[in-house]
Amino acid sequence: MFRGSITALITPFKKGAVDEKAYQEFIDWQIKEGSHGLVPCGTTGESPTLTHDEHNRVIELCVEVAKGRVPVIAGTGSNSTAEAIQLTKHAKKAGATAALVVTPYYNKPTQEGLLQHFLAIANAVDLPIVIYNIPGRSVVDMSVETMAKLAEHENIVGVKDATNDLQRPLRSRMECGEEFCQLSGEDGTSVAFLAHGGKGCISVTANIAPRLCAQLQDAWHLGAYEDVFRIRDVLSPVHDAMFIETNPAPVKFGASLLGKCDPDVRLPLAPLSMKAKARVEEAMRGAGLLN
């Protein structure tokens, strides 16, 4: 259903508020640079510190600019099942293509709890759902067995896998089937993930290198592996720099160097340190992203 380079969009801020103009211009640039899809209100979009009104508005702004040119997979997850249902209903109403629903954080549900949480959302809203499995942030790890049960539901169509376990896509493909869409949530291992059965990457780096990220994915699907490996090597230092401090502070600073937005993040995230800023700029220059 989905493939290629799908950008986990930043949410630009100006003087504490969502910078709607910068955001919509940024989305249009992303599409023109070749990104294959967009994810508003994910982790990189600072969804934990968006108000509900802001969250809904950011999704609406994204859908409005995308105009069906690329899929919009709206982040609608929560550690409250009722809240996740509410956010997913709004995403459907706004015209999103699908919803990205994170495993419930902090609550530490069992596998049965995860199963019931996702089934409740899938039964409540007729919208394709991509499971977002990110144990490093949510503390819980959805097992392949649980995911296979969920994959039987017609509305649950894939996973964003941020486990960084490269055996996972192989096992998931065998248990969930070829039609279950597996997307990497880790830029640094995205090529290896493709080799193990993935269809694409929901990417942080694509915020500042959309063309290169899209070209890498296109080259893979065309079987142009020399191009894949060349672009992989060019982007590798950039991937590392994007996580030198907590995401999305590094990538927002990188976007500010491109003149796309202010580098502001919301507390409890802190502005990037001077050392980290130098590292981001150096990596971007090395990849040819800055003149």
Active site residue 275: no
Task: Give strand pairing partners of 39.
Answer: 8
Catalytic pick from 32, 93, 132, 252? Answer: 132
Q: Are 98 and 71 in contact (CB under 8 A)?
A: yes
pLDDT of 1 strictly over 90: no
Residue with tokens 């899938």: 122
Q: What is the pTM of this model?
A: 0.96
Domains of the chain: 4-286 (3.20.20.70)
Average pLDDT, the chain: 97
Catalytic pick from 23, 160, 199, 277? Answer: 160
Mean pLDDT to the nearest integer, 263-284: 97
Active site residue 132: yes
213-223 residue pLDDT tens = 999 999 999 99
103-155 residue pLDDT tens = 999 999 999 999 999 999 999 999 999 999 999 999 999 999 999 999 999 99
Coil/strand/helix, residue 110? coil
In the numeric block, which tokens belong to residue 13? 């801020």
